[in-house]
Structure 1
Amino acid sequence: MQFEVWAPQAGRVTLQCDGVTRAMERDPEREGWWRGEAEAHDGSRYGFALDGGPVRPDPRSRRQPDGPDGPSAVVDHARFAWRAQWGGRPLPGAVLYELHVGTYTREGTFDAAAERLGHLAELGVTHVELMPVCPFPGRHGWGYEGVSLWAVHEPYGGPEGLKRFVDRAHALGLGVVLDVVHNHLGPSGNYLPEFGPYFTDTHHTPWGAAVNLDAPGSDEVRSYLVQSALAWLRDYRIDGLRLDAVHALVDTRAHHFLEELSEAVDTLAADTGRPLFLIAESDLNDPRVVTPREEGGFGVHAQWNDDFHHALHTALTGESQGYYADFARAPLAALAKTLTGGFFHDGTYSSFRGRHHGRPLDRDRVAGHRLLGYSQTHDQVGNRARGDRLAALVSPGLLACAAALTLTAPFTPMLFMGEEWAAGTPWQFFTDHTDPELARAVRDGRRREFAAHGWAEEDVPDPQDPATRDRSCLDWSEPEREPHARVLAWYRLLVALRHEQPDLTDPDLGDTKVAYDEERRWLAFRRGDVRVAVNLAGEPAAVPLGAPGARVLAAWEPVRAPGPDGVLHLPGESAVVLLQE
């Protein structure tokens, strides 16, 4: 078997495979690359030593059986027997469901999560979006400090476990999206700087030196990231990738990394005959991210839209701290703006940033499904001091309003695991760092962060305490009892309506018409023949819907269709979806 590694600064490279050491040779055709032959098979352990140093894992390792610091292992992807016949599922018309393997079940494995996929098929979601699964220190963590961008966290089940999960999802008609982190790697077990200029001091990020996308040596670094992304789509039959924090991918080259990656993914989609897509997490509010390449954009197929979340969250909770401040001044106006224009900050002044931010979307060029809308995510829940979900902050009626707005808005909706039954479990920040100094730094840093906002140290859960992770696991007995069962039935109904009513998946972002009353706290919007109204106030509201004779498709509380005057009398803290036939 041939092994290869990029180590442009090394003067000597040796390969250690199954206890046998062999010298490697420079590749005459590729500058900086080394190659060597060794007897190996699926499961063989190996690593590389540079200039007589310690043996390190392969930067392109497909498996780390003993964790980030241990030797790599050979993976023969052809050995897995795929069973599901799967042609893929495109992003337009999708309903996504964000899932963390380690807390979706108490067991915290791919196999245990796969046993619960029937619940999602019944719910009506189309794609499961897995949080990162690359190896990270310890057993439990969010996954955003992973290393070995081609490998799978062993405690979850490793490569075989992920394949079984994907195969089961596809058999149930569910696509799988994987969250990948290209903007930084974990500090523990990260040996890439020993091999080459994977990082650069030319730019700095919140995690330190930036990934090298534009400095000397960046051609190979970009290829490393692109080929890693394609490997997930090809070898694991993943249907799409969520790209973490692309605003931290600093790239001054004329051909932006995101454009290069989207080209490669589109090419693979054409070669395989499966619809493949990229979803960016972006804080830029820059339309170029989701504008097609042929129209001057980067060609990413969609992005998370935090502005919709922030407007909805402030309207529901009244919170106004931090980045919520600008939205909280007139939350229903902010919500109306996002429903019709996508971004709230589209060149407006952001008090949180202390500057103007964003740029308007061209609604004639950007379809609504290219923005993801959500009321909760791992970030927006887990980055709260105590990881409290929306269900801990507002009434079931307001949760119903949030669900109605998210699942009927012109965006691609995304749910966060457990949201669909108003889970009573929190979702907190937890780690399992094996380095005591790093564990202490993370714990103290988080407590200092929230102390600045008035939180007592004892009120902020210790990320390293196993109980923090355990509290964050879903309680699968909840969906069977009230009030959770009623919320789950409401979500199922709304998801079904989204699939049944063509107007709810209309790609024309500009076709949404909104009316609202900031003082009386009601908002209504029209998408084709579908009318949606929510009343966030505690008392009933008379909503001039202008849809006499409309038929009620779904209502959280009993409600009559508008009379001849077109006025809808909507109970307090409730939502309704109607059809004007």
Structure 2
Amino acid sequence: MSTINTSKRTIGVSFDESGRAHVLLWAPDAKQVELLLSGQDKTVSLTRGESGYWSVETRALQPGDLYYFELDGKKQLPDPASLSQPDDVHGASQALDINRFRWTDENWRHFPLKNYIIYEMHIGTFTPEGTFAAAEKKLDYLVDLGITAVEIMPVAQFPGGRNWGYDGVFPFCVQHSYGGAQGLQSFVNASHAKGLAVVLDVVFNHVGPEGNHLQEFGPYFTEKYHTPWGNAINFDDAWCDGVRRFFVENALMWFRDFHIDALRMDAVHAIKDFSPTHILGEIRQEVDLLIQQTGRKHYLIVELDLNDTRFINPVNKAGYGMDAQWIDEFHHALRVTSGQEKTGYYSDFNAVESLAKSYQDAYVYDGAFSEHRKKYFGMKTENPGEQFVVFSQNHDHVGNRMLGERTSQLVSFEMLKLLAGAVLVSPYLPMLFMGEEYGEKNPFQYFVSHIDPELAEAVRKGRKKEFEAFYMDGEAPDPLAEDTFERSKLQWGLIDQEPHKTLLQFYKELIAIRKMQQPLCVLNRREVSVEHNTEARVIVLRRQHKLQDVICLMNFSKEEQSVDVPVYASHWCKLLGSSDLRWNGLQDIPALVPGELALALPPESITLYSNKHE
């Protein structure tokens, strides 16, 4: 039976309708807890309750006031569940009444996950201003592009003003430099008015290194496990109940108080939990209770480096109940097929063959031996297509390159069009990374703005050491330098210049075709068939729905290749040809082809034909 109140936020500071502050802090080892009102010379004592929780109801604390907690008469600390940190991660917390925001999205109806066409953005580099308010002004652009869901990289408060977001240390607090809580609420409200769903990236596998005060309040971390970023969050060790509640309430807050439509949970394979109910399963259960109460649908999407259907299977089938997962394997296979380097974990993937398998089976490794992992890896999946998110690039696979080069700097213009098509004709949920739709030239590099000089220098040295074998290609940019951040911002002026203008129109056309053609927008994996020719580097993807077929012909080679698709129709009608002159290609592909599809495919091209049955 749930002990969490899904209808309202209880952890931290909240205000009732009369303006009284309700304060709840988990500090199981403390003997005394005081609330200090910064600059007012006032203190309010909290009372210890069950399970290590301290609480008080008071009118001494008002919205806008700055405050600290003091444990056992010693160190003054910001609230671990702070909603606002106007003076950065080491400063006082600010009390907010987030229920004061005037929502106008009461008529918003969240659509099925299968209709998601996702656009991943980083608020700090999406616009020159780097704020929610500035991003709001670009929503019409996204609607015109055909996007249906905007995914925001993490916004939990981090040190300074420059960070990818994965170093956040206040999980409940929206980054102040982006516009804070009200800025995010306004952005979501405006997105809903435009018909856009909003996905928020959250990090439940670790907490950043600077300004991380959680361990001073209680056993938020455990020595039992470790992650690549330090000690694991304590989801199953002593005193884990308070930690679990903290993160469950965090998930509920984004949905209930910020009207977020879906959460993308970062690297859940790094969450260690051997409890009878995994923390993801508990989040699923509590979110389902919230959905019952509000009638609003919310989705849980995970980044997962495991081909394990337990994460995305429903709870009644012994799964954790996540709605969808990212599959990097599609990206890896697509990247290798496009001719990019086959190093590191990319070495596990065979051009064309691996991509064809991912189209058919989602997972490339579903029980086969992985040479990179040195073990048999993965399991077969029959889960529907809308449970998988695919992409040709994202923040990780761009930003974790030494120089942060986007795909537009690594392949030809013709290949850019082919990669776009390869993602958007897949039987999965497509995701674009900001700027890819017009071939942004600026890199997306790794940047931070740590305040602690020792930590800053450690990060700088670590980044250089990581890429020391690549110095023949230049030196890794300084992640602390403001220039590194500024270079990563989008250049919006490019959309009116060639070839960017044409590429943008190509993306719009592709997305419109995906939405209009039933074989493409109905994500039934049983009606997908794929053939490939490894030597010719050609893939023929067939998508079907009722009597209609869409044939997707992809030539990844640099030479013209002949194909003969033995599927008869009175005539095949061209939906799109990336090699056509209108897309700055080399030649027009026939608009109509009778009988079987027998064609000479131009190099690095994608061509779509339909038998026109509706």
TM-score tier (shorter): over 0.9
| 1:2-13 alignment, distance < 5 Å | 2-13=22-33
**Does structure 1 residue 559 correspond to structure 2 residue 579?**
no
Moved more, 37-46 or 275-284: 37-46
Q: Quick one: distance in 1 between partners of 2:51 and 2:389?
A: 42
2:98–2:182 contact (8 Å) kept in structure 1: no
2:222–2:233 contact (8 Å) kept in structure 1: yes
Partner of 1:216: 238
**Does structure 1 residue 516 correspond to structure 2 residue 532?**
yes
Q: Quick one: distance in 2 between partners of 1:456 and 1:14?
A: 57
How much does 1:381 deviate? 0.4
**Does structure 1 residue 477 correspond to structure 2 residue 493?**
yes
| 1:65-76 alignment, distance < 5 Å | 65-76=86-97
2:120–2:150 contact (8 Å) kept in structure 1: yes
**Does structure 1 residue 54 correspond to structure 2 residue 75?**
yes
Q: String of CA shifts for 1:384-411, please: whole Å, max 9, x gaps.
A: 0000011111111111111111011011
Q: Give the counterpart of 2:200 among 160, 169, 178.
A: 178
Secondary structure of the 1:149 match is strand
**Does structure 1 residue 467 correspond to structure 2 residue 483?**
yes
Partner of 1:541: 561
AA aligned to 1:61 is: S
How much does 1:563 deviate? 4.1
**Does structure 1 residue 334 correspond to structure 2 residue 354?**
yes
Q: Quick one: distance in 2 between partners of 1:268 and 1:546?
A: 51
Partner of 1:189: 211
**Does structure 1 residue 81 correspond to structure 2 residue 102?**
yes
1:95–1:412 contact (8 Å) kept in structure 2: yes
**Does structure 1 residue 571 correspond to structure 2 residue 602?**
yes
Residue correspondences, number: 574
How much does 1:143 deviate? 0.6
Q: Quick one: distance in 2 between partners of 1:397 and 1:261?
A: 44
User: What TM-score do the two structures reach when normalised by structure 2?
Assistant: 0.91
Q: Quick one: distance in 2 between partners of 1:144 and 1:118?
A: 28
Secondary structure of the 1:353 match is coil
Q: Give the counterpart of 1:294 among 316, 338, 341.
A: 316
How much does 1:550 deviate? 1.2
Q: Quick one: distance in 2 between partners of 1:271 and 1:541?
A: 57
Q: String of CA shifts for 1:253-297, please: whole Å, max 9, x gaps.
A: 121111111122222222222220011001111111111111121
- Structure 1: runs of 5+ lacking an equivalent: none
How much does 1:346 deviate? 1.2
1:127–1:176 contact (8 Å) kept in structure 2: yes
Q: Quick one: distance in 1 between partners of 2:404 and 2:243?
A: 35
1:373–1:412 contact (8 Å) kept in structure 2: yes
AA aligned to 1:282 is: L
Partner of 1:383: 400
Q: Give the counterpart of 1:131 among 145, 148, 153.
A: 153
Structure 1 runs, 4 residues or longer, greater than 6 Å off: none
2:464–2:475 contact (8 Å) kept in structure 1: no
Q: Quick one: distance in 2 between partners of 1:221 and 1:505?
A: 40
AA aligned to 1:388 is: E
Q: Quick one: distance in 2 between partners of 1:384 and 1:439?
A: 20
1:513–1:526 contact (8 Å) kept in structure 2: yes
Secondary structure of the 1:566 match is strand
Q: Quick one: distance in 2 between partners of 1:2 and 1:262?
A: 27
- Structure 2: runs of 5+ lacking an equivalent: 1-20, 580-587
RMSD: 1.4
2:561–2:603 contact (8 Å) kept in structure 1: yes
Secondary structure of the 1:275 match is coil
How much does 1:457 deviate? 9.1
1:24–1:34 contact (8 Å) kept in structure 2: no
Q: Quick one: distance in 1 between partners of 2:374 and 2:45?
A: 54
1:109–1:156 contact (8 Å) kept in structure 2: yes
1:89–1:239 contact (8 Å) kept in structure 2: no
Moved more, 303-312 or 547-556: 547-556
How much does 1:481 deviate? 1.1
AA aligned to 1:166 is: V
User: What TM-score do the two structures reach when normalised by structure 1?
Assistant: 0.96
Q: String of CA shifts for 1:476-534, please: whole Å, max 9, x gaps.
A: 01111111111111110111111111221323223210111111111111110111111
Q: String of CA shifts for 1:313-366, please: whole Å, max 9, x gaps.
A: 000024110000010xx31110011111110111222222222221111x1xx1
Partner of 1:580: 611
How much does 1:458 deviate? 5.2
2:390–2:430 contact (8 Å) kept in structure 1: yes
2:565–2:596 contact (8 Å) kept in structure 1: no
AA aligned to 2:256 is: R
AA aligned to 2:495 is: P
How much does 1:414 deviate? 0.4
